[in-house]
Structure 1
Amino acid sequence: MSYTRKLLAGAILATGLTATSAITASAAECIAPADPGGGWDFTCRTVGRLLTELGLEEGSVQVTNMPGGVGAVAFANVAGKRADDGDVLVATSTVGVTQIAQGKYPGGIDVMRWVGMLGTDVGVIVVPADSEYETVDDLLNTLKADPTSVPVAGSSGAGGWDHIRLLMLADEAGMDDDAYKAIRWVQFDGGSPAVTQMLGGQVGAVSTDLGEIAGFVESGDIRIIAALSDDPIPAFPDAPTAKAQGYDVTGYNWRGFYTGGDVSDAEYQAWVEELKSLFDTAEWKEAAEANGLITVWRGGEAFEAYVAEQAKQMEDISRSIGVIQ
């Protein structure tokens, strides 16, 4: 535990809260449940770097990439081996909670303690810069004519949040259940690998989060044909929203962290306070907005209630489109 969190935890203990284990100093670790280059990796590396640079952590935050099962491997590792390790944070998002809601993780949301969210990513549909699909209408009309004609990729499996967002657009376009379920979906372990394969001609479009692939947009390699946000994205104001094109679909993906379910109240609250301190800095706002994130804070009990509410919502959506029974 960093010196800062050690002091915070000690102060919290002094108020009468109890800890389940002794508080000792050790290095903080952030687990990114995916390969380097994706949104969870960005979350760990950016937050870890800023915690160190701003003096909120006394040393470098170790980032461990632990891909597999769209976060299920990291979830199982922490639940089974590090449930009481107060020095560990795990990056997660709407994608992870969707997987939990669909029973694809080895446990429900109550297995972990949900620390806080620092911002929300915006879902986007992207194509190569030289793609024949100039607008989201072009893509959806092609899929309506033949749902198998254009393979689409994302960083979640069939029924995951990236896939659900595409199906929500297909539903808005008037495709019936059988048709949009026939769309060819390809999973990659991160938005960046999905875009790389798209540029290699393996798929025709990608549904993912802007924060994962903003660099490809900036370089001009790909184009956003639909931003799934209420308003234009500040970092890319010229990117057309789905709503502006007649599709009433939004698809936000918050970025946050959980820690083990047996972490003490004092250690848990120290993480909440430390992340809130980071959120309040100009450095975090600058880093977030540069990567297409909208800064939003929810922490502690409020965040845990929000995660529970969202898990229920994702379960309901998954049932409505036939992903789970």
Structure 2
Amino acid sequence: MLKAVTGKGFQVLLAGVLTLSLAACGSTGTGGAVSTGAKKEQSGASNYPTKPIVFVAPSGAGGAFDKAARSVTKILAEEKYVNQNMTVEVKPGGGGTVFMTDYAVNDTKNNYKFFVNSPSMLINNLKKDGGIPYSYKDTTPLAQLFRDYGIVAVAANSKYNDLKTLFNDLKADPTKLTLAGGTGPGTVDHLTFIYPASKYGIDPKKVKYVSYDGKAQSMTALLGGNADILASTAAEVGEFLESGKIKVLAVNSPKRLSGVFKDVPTMKELGIDADFNIWRGVFGAKEMSADAKKFWDENLKKLSESEKWKKEMAANGWEADYKDSASFSKALDEQNKIIQDLLKVLEMGK
């Protein structure tokens, strides 16, 4: 039989009930948070990153991707935008196709592995021969950091002194001259020449393109008389222009470049609207977490505004052209369509 509790006994019992109720509110139930981690989750805060980070250069050691990845990680560390250890790994093979296939299949949710790339990743997906089913759509494009510009050059002793004279001769007979490039048929060097040439009315399928194993070898071919024209990038040919070994007839940039290129006309100046963006960008996993993406959105933007980064770009002959994730994704969609159309014209597309 229950006995009623009154007076002082009732006050003690009530105090005990209140104490138990408050303790329950601080437990793992819905009444409140019990840990710093839970508070962070509720407030939307994140402690990412919590472990070492890998940047992959899907090319050989010392190549353009390797150089870009090392520059990015160096400045991120020096500016203390990233406080975790960062390493760069080179993963050559198939012009980037080996790495891309492995990444798209095995690193879908990896918040700690990133890579740098160029339009070659679009081409590798769209090419009929040797193409792969993976591209930027199987990643999270994080930022375009800089770009290089395609150039058309001839040897110093060439009879050609301007692009229009050269293009007029090729328009009359596309097989008359040999074009050298440091990448394979249907890839970046080839397409940076074919795009403006086709806009000018030259039959792209009839242009004699000879590919060499790298830009150094294609330059050797031009200087040695084994090619009449060179398709390359501004960053790769500046020293040869400065030493008087070549003539650069045009650069595919929105405005004239400075320094040794200040007297070189742009394609647009010559009435040829065929911008082919040779970008360098950073990519992450397709299903990376929201807090990881937010972290890289913020810190890659900071990197792009850093004075140290600007000096690094100048030292490497790179041109600043930052695009955030959304703008970069849109630009990739647009260039993907251009490359798809070019490869179809060349009968190299899927």
TM-score tier by shorter-chain length is 0.7 to 0.9
The alpha-carbon distance between structure 1 residues 260 and 220, as it changes in their structure 2 partners (threshold 3 A), is farther
Contact 1:234/1:292 (8 A) holds in 2: no
Residues of 2 paired with 1:319 and 1:121: CA distance? 25
- 2:139 maps to amino acid: M
Partner secondary structure for residue 269 of structure 2: helix
Q: Please report how far the alpha carbon of residue 227 of structure 1 lies from its aligned counterpart in structure 2 after TM superposition.
A: 0.5
Residues of 2 paired with 1:13 and 1:279: CA distance? 29
2:253 is aligned with 1:226:
no
Partner secondary structure for residue 175 of structure 2: coil
2:198 is aligned with 1:174:
no
Residues of 2 paired with 1:46 and 1:183: CA distance? 37
Gaps of 5+ in 1: 1-9
Which residue of the partner structure matches residue 43 of structure 1? 68
Which residue of the partner structure matches residue 150 of structure 1? 177
Count matched residues.
Answer: 310
Greater relative contact order: 1 or 2 (C-alpha under 8 angstroms, separation 6 or more)? 1
Contact 2:184/2:190 (8 A) holds in 1: yes
Rg bigger for which structure?
2
Structure 2 counterpart of 1:255, from 280, 300, 304: 280
> Over aligned residues, Cα RMSD in angstroms?
3.4
Q: TM-score, with normalisation over the residues of structure 2? A: 0.74
Structure 2 counterpart of 1:315, from 320, 340, 346: 340
Residues of 2 paired with 1:216 and 1:14: CA distance? 59
Contact 1:118/1:295 (8 A) holds in 2: yes
2:78 is aligned with 1:53:
yes
Report Cα offsets for 1:76-95 as digits up to 9, x if no partner. Answer: 23223444333322111233
Which residue of the partner structure matches residue 123 of structure 2? 98
Which residue of the partner structure matches residue 25 of structure 1? 51
The alpha-carbon distance between structure 1 residues 64 and 143, as it changes in their structure 2 partners (threshold 3 A), is farther
Contact 2:140/2:285 (8 A) holds in 1: yes
Partner secondary structure for residue 243 of structure 1: coil
Contact 2:121/2:135 (8 A) holds in 1: no
Gaps of 5+ in 2: 1-37
Residues of 1 paired with 2:190 and 2:274: CA distance? 13
Partner secondary structure for residue 231 of structure 2: strand
Residues of 2 paired with 1:136 and 1:315: CA distance? 26
Residues of 2 paired with 1:155 and 1:15: CA distance? 52
Partner secondary structure for residue 153 of structure 2: strand
Which residue of the partner structure matches residue 6 of structure 1? none
Report Cα offsets for 1:137-182 as digits up to 9, x if no partner. Answer: 343344345433433233443223432232233224432x3xx312
Contact 1:70/1:189 (8 A) holds in 2: no
- 1:194 maps to amino acid: S
Q: TM-score, with normalisation over the residues of structure 1? A: 0.79
Which residue of the partner structure matches residue 134 of structure 1? 161
- How many percent identity over aligned positions? 28
Structure 1 counterpart of 2:304, from 268, 271, 279: 279
2:322 is aligned with 1:300:
no
Residues of 2 paired with 1:152 and 1:246: CA distance? 22
Q: Please report how far the alpha carbon of residue 114 of structure 1 lies from its aligned counterpart in structure 2 after TM superposition.
A: 1.0
Contact 2:49/2:84 (8 A) holds in 1: no
